[in-house]
Structure 1
Amino acid sequence: MSTSKTAGAATATAVAPDVRPILSVRDLTIDYLGEPRQPALVQDVSFDVLPGRSVALIGESGCGKTITSLAVLGLLPARMRVAGGSIVLDGVDVLQASERTLRDLRGRTVGAIFQEPMSSLNPTMPVGDQIGEARWLHLGESRRAARAKAVELLDRVGIPNAARRARAYPHELSGGMQQRVMIASAIACEPAMLLADEPTTALDVTVQADILALLADLQRDLGLGILFVTHDLGVVAEFCADVVVMYAGHVVERAGTRALFAAPRHPYTAALLGAVPQAGQARTVLTTIPGRVPPSGAFPAGCRFRPRCAHAVATCAEPQHGGADGDHFTLCDRVAAGELTPRRRT
């Protein structure tokens, strides 16, 4: 979560408590059918994304963040299948929807921003045509009207000389401009939600800050809900209102960003926070988490974090329930029983 920044930097458009989520994921379980086979690669994942609010999915590589986000889009790889749970996107049951309905949802209801824009953009098409394509496909606009809207969108995301840049090919743009093109494409059909998978990782710090500011402006102006998949805990502290912490396919902690930063309750979350350098604490030894996330087919019996947990005891088993204090959920029986208390960062 943060380095020198505090969770207080995370902001969101205020929403009424009875507002319906744009995205509601409940008890999502995904099996891996390849070799080695892994039942419950992702298990019992639940969270909501509300209008005007950003939710971060965090955890080490291999924890299930990207698989979860692909399931939201109905784009799971061939060897994976949803074994249980539900995904409701703007009132549509994603798991029961036809491929045609899913195609309509992608772009029209949810826009996607990916980590490497150069690998996502079509190198053979001018960027303006790529942005406009979504509008004539989903909204039925003429190609001329779609191109004009593409120029407007490029201007909106801060690209100078938008009319000229609309005729450029992706390789003619810098990395920061490519990412702005991806954002313009993602919001082309005025979706209710954005799914941003590591959208700033490949950018330098200055450009990253500009992109985050742009996303915050768009969120405020359009009321977008954003699902933000990231490893960058500083970005989470600055940008996201809620956090979902995943480990080996489980949601181990879920809370508002401020509450989670102030008092992480799951040992894994506390270890992640402890591994972030703190401003003003030079030459300190960072916390490390021994070992690595277990690969598919090698999940340990019982609590999946137990082999790496500094607080594990002989009685630790598969967590049967999470400890919930209001909106703060923790998947650890020792926390639920009061044997572990919240660890507040200093």
Structure 2
Amino acid sequence: MTATAKTVDKGSEGSGGDGHNENSVAPGDPLLSVRGLTIDLPGDPGQRGLVEDVSFDLHRKRSLALIGESGCGKSLTAMAILRLLPPAMSLRAGSVVFDGVDLARASERRLRRLRGGPVGIVFQEPMSSLNPTATVGDQIAEARQIHFGERRATALAKAAELLDRVGIPNAKQRVKAYPHELSGGMQQRVMIAAGIACNPKLIIADEPTTALDVTIQAEILELLRDLQRDLDLAVMLVTHDLGVVADFCDDVVVMYAGHVVERTSIDGLFYQPRHPYSSALLAAVPQVGNPRTRLNVIPGRVPPAGRFPAGCRFQPRCAHDAGGPCAQPQKETEFADGHTTRCCRVADGSLTLEGVARA
């Protein structure tokens, strides 16, 4: 390991309050900066640290993926950005600075102006997220009526334009359709149209290609790529599909059991992973052109919240477990190239991992 490593400073930098000047952010600063995000589930018994000490940056016009197995805290992290957590959960610590405003401390009124406006959201499973009793046109138009004060007729005309922009044929007629009258791929396009309805700077897309066949997945990713280019969007993509990540994203945050275990560029992840969990995820991806080969698996499963190991949370499943040092709480370490990892063995140079080249 030739890169110099240092412990990451987790100070809550850039945390503007509710009255912070949104125009004070320098052009080179991140559009979204998350520092030390920690989510608890209070109660008896309570579960502390469902998501703990999560930090990352997302810059303008770039795409960032949150990856990991189910139960690692990806969706909770994404929903915490706009404080859309389930009522029982609480944001215990951290800052979430979007365009100079700390959303973790912003008023509910300020958040309502941001949700669906400067920050668009594409939720999981459009059939569950769309209102079955309202037409898709009204559901898209609603955001423009709220944020821009447009009249219903004007907003519906814009909704038809948006449906056409996301590739839905006969858009002027489709605005009158109900969700159940559309295919899964079209429903996902409606969700994307709603997400971009108010000219956002950031789109948070939670598993936007889940349950779609590979052809429709490719079309949705191409649509997001075109919109990102045309609208100068930053995109946060929550997914467990490494193929989607490799095809679409610039940067990646690997999460395991509520911790960020690695932050890097896409090339850094695929060619030089620096956490055993990231390496294990890559090894578990089936390789095209190698039939009848044994598929690698990660033994065990993600520990449930409240039962996380005291040391490295990946230790019970790790093929590189070294006992003593791995049984201690792990600090996030940053290398000279900006790549970070939460593994003491990689940080001290005693463990080097191999990547898997992208096709």
Same fold per superposition (TM over 0.5): yes
Q: Distance in 2 between matches of 1:18 and 1:89?
A: 13
> Which of 272, 280, 285 pairs up with 1:271?
280
Q: How far did 1:76 drift?
A: 1.4
Which residue of the partner structure matches residue 37 of structure 1? Answer: 46
Which residue of the partner structure matches residue 340 of structure 1? Answer: 351
Which residue of the partner structure matches residue 254 of structure 2? Answer: 245
Q: How far did 1:78 drift?
A: 2.0
Once the two structures are superposed, residues 199-234 of structure 1 have per-residue CA deviations (whole angstroms, 9 ceiling, x without a partner) of: 101211111111100000000000100110001110
TM-score, reference length from structure 2: 0.89
Q: Is the 8 A contact 1:323 1:335 kept in 2?
A: no
Aligned-residue Cα RMSD (Å) equals 1.3
| Residue 96, structure 1, aligned to residue 100, structure 2 | no
Q: Distance in 2 between matches of 1:205 and 1:320?
A: 38
Which residue of the partner structure matches residue 302 of structure 2? Answer: 293
Q: Is the 8 A contact 2:66 2:74 kept in 1?
A: yes
Q: How far did 1:89 drift?
A: 1.5
Q: Structure 1: give runs of 5+ residues left out of the alignment.
A: 1-16
| Residue 205, structure 1, aligned to residue 221, structure 2 | no
Q: Is the 8 A contact 2:126 2:187 kept in 1?
A: yes
Q: How far did 1:273 drift?
A: 0.4
Q: Distance in 2 between matches of 1:321 and 1:239?
A: 26
Q: Distance in 1 between matches of 2:251 and 2:343?
A: 19
Q: Distance in 2 between matches of 1:173 and 1:314?
A: 54
Q: Which runs of 4+ in 1 moved over 3 A?
A: none
SS at match of 1:252: strand
| Residue 185, structure 1, aligned to residue 194, structure 2 | yes
Q: Which moved more, 1:150-159 or 1:71-80?
A: 71-80
| Residue 109, structure 1, aligned to residue 118, structure 2 | yes
SS at match of 2:112: helix
Which residue of the partner structure matches residue 143 of structure 1? Answer: 152
| Highest RCO, 1 vs 2 (Cα 8 Å, sep ≥ 6) | 1
Which residue of the partner structure matches residue 14 of structure 1? Answer: none
Which residue of the partner structure matches residue 175 of structure 2? Answer: 166
Matches within 5 A, 1:222-237: 222-237=231-246
Matches within 5 A, 1:117-136: 117-136=126-145
Q: Which moved more, 1:94-103 or 1:209-218?
A: 94-103
Q: Distance in 2 between matches of 1:134 and 1:145?
A: 12
The amino acid across from 1:326 in the alignment is D
Q: Distance in 1 between matches of 2:196 and 2:263?
A: 28
Q: Distance in 2 between matches of 1:321 and 1:148?
A: 49
Once the two structures are superposed, residues 157-214 of structure 1 have per-residue CA deviations (whole angstroms, 9 ceiling, x without a partner) of: 1111110011111111111111111110000000100000001012111111111000
Q: How far did 1:117 drift?
A: 0.7
Which residue of the partner structure matches residue 342 of structure 2? Answer: 331
Once the two structures are superposed, residues 127-154 of structure 1 have per-residue CA deviations (whole angstroms, 9 ceiling, x without a partner) of: 1111111001111111111011011111
Q: 1:321 to 1:108 in 2, by over 3 A?
A: closer
Q: How far did 1:324 drift?
A: 2.2
Q: Which moved more, 1:319-328 or 1:257-266?
A: 319-328
Q: How far did 1:35 drift?
A: 5.1
Q: Is the 8 A contact 1:27 1:85 kept in 2?
A: yes
Percent identity between the aligned chains? 64
Q: Distance in 2 between matches of 1:69 and 1:168?
A: 30
Q: How far did 1:18 drift?
A: 5.1
The amino acid across from 2:54 in the alignment is V
| Residue 28, structure 1, aligned to residue 46, structure 2 | no
The amino acid across from 1:218 in the alignment is L
Q: Distance in 1 between matches of 2:93 and 2:34?
A: 11
Q: Which moved more, 1:75-84 or 1:256-265?
A: 75-84
Q: Is the 8 A contact 1:90 1:109 kept in 2?
A: no
Q: How far did 1:327 drift?
A: 1.6
